[in-house]
Amino acid sequence: MQSNEQEKTHAESGFTLVEILACLVVLAIAGLTLTSFFVNAMSYAKGNQSKTVMVNLARNTLFYMQKEAVFDELGGYFQVAQETLPSGEKRKVISPDGCSSGLCAGYRALIRNGSADTSTLATILHPNINGIQYRVEISYQPNLYKTLKANGTSGGTGLVSGEATEAQTISDYLIPIKVSVLEEKVNADGTVEAVKTKRDQTEVEGYITDESIR
């Protein structure tokens, strides 16, 4: 008789309320951890997608400038002939700030056929991709230009005494530039500002070549 009662008691045993609550807590913690992981993964994937878009925009801008820029006018705009500028004076930058109403009148002389149309440059400098606004800036790199000339002066070998070396000559036909692409965000008050974190911007470097040696 006693044996039957023990078997009945054993058959009806189960989890206590404390054990169930402990399991729920563990599952909740695991669920939150997994949720955080998936959120971070989605954020990382979105960031990579935006980064890819910015790299392509920077490369397209560089390609456009290499094809359409007027070398002498661009050199004058960036003041390439002046290795250093007066104190407090900054190098000019080609940016969307020089464009309005879909045109870039301020950069008309820098682009081939710019007197007829600068709308393409306006789109390149301020593109909107998948509902995200980007800001593109083109700047001159004087330090890279100095390095190029210095390398030509120290390492080049002229064929004739007093003749410019090949490296020195080439440096005069190149304008080193940097294309920076930043994502813009709209604030609550409607103002627009560039997002300047490292993950939200991309830079691509290249050269503008004089037409005479293309």
- Above 80 in pLDDT, residue 21? yes
- Above 80 in pLDDT, residue 200? no
- Above 50 in pLDDT, residue 159? no
- Above 90 in pLDDT, residue 59? yes
> pLDDT tier at 160 (50, 70, 90 boundaries)?
very low
* Residue carrying the six token digits 């989605």: 42
Token pair, residue 21, equals 């609550």
Q: 106 versus 10: which is more confidently predicted?
A: 106
pLDDT at 32 (0 to 100): 78
Instruction: Read off the pTM.
Output: 0.71
- Above 60 in pLDDT, residue 163? no
- Above 50 in pLDDT, residue 24? yes
Structural domain boundaries of the chain? 37-213
pLDDT at 158 (0 to 100): 44
Q: 214 versus 24: which is more confidently predicted?
A: 24
pLDDT at 165 (0 to 100): 54
**Mean pLDDT comparison of 32-46, 97-111, 154-168, highest-scoring range:** 97-111
- Above 90 in pLDDT, residue 10? no
Q: How many CA atoms lie within 13 A of 143 on its CB side?
A: 2
The separation between the first and the last C-alpha atoms of the chain, rounded to the nearest angstrom, is: 106
- Above 50 in pLDDT, residue 101? yes
